Amino acid sequence: ATYEFFFVLGIPVGAFVATMATARFRTRVVPIEWRRRFGSNPGRRLVWSFVGGFLLLFGARFGGGCTSGHMISGISQLAISSFVFSAALFISGIVTARLLYRDGGSRC
């Protein structure tokens, strides 16, 4: 086994150990914040998850790369398109968060 294998394996194992150590382990099909905003229908969440994934993949294909590629590699090469993309990504993320969490959201 390689370093990468153990690194990827350690992510869920570490998350599980951390949740067990804090006694906060809960499984939910529909997260609390989603349920509070959009209802508890798992089918609706599945559909919107698919739509979001499709838009992400479409954008990556249309833009000629993925978000990490544009933000890490592109900016380090001083590519103007990567600066524009990164600014647009942060702005859209801030706007989305402000719309979804107008009242401060739920506390963990």
Number of domains in the chain: 1
Compute the distance between CA of residue 51 and CA of residue 94 in angstroms, rounded to an integer.
Answer: 20
Range of the domain at 77: 3-100
In a domain, 105, yes or no: no
Compute the distance between CA of residue 16 and CA of residue 3 in angstroms, rounded to an integer.
Answer: 20
Using pLDDT thresholds of 50, 70 and 90, give the confidence band for residue 106: low
In this predicted model, what pLDDT tens digit does every residue of 65-90 receive, in sequence order?
777 777 888 889 998 988 998 899 89
In a domain, 106, yes or no: no
In a domain, 107, yes or no: no
In this predicted model, what pLDDT tens digit does every residue of 34-50 receive, in sequence order?
888 888 888 888 898 89
b/e sequence 28-54, b meaning 16+ C-beta within 10 Å: eebeeebbeeeeeeeeebeeeeeeeee
In a domain, 108, yes or no: no
In a domain, 35, yes or no: yes
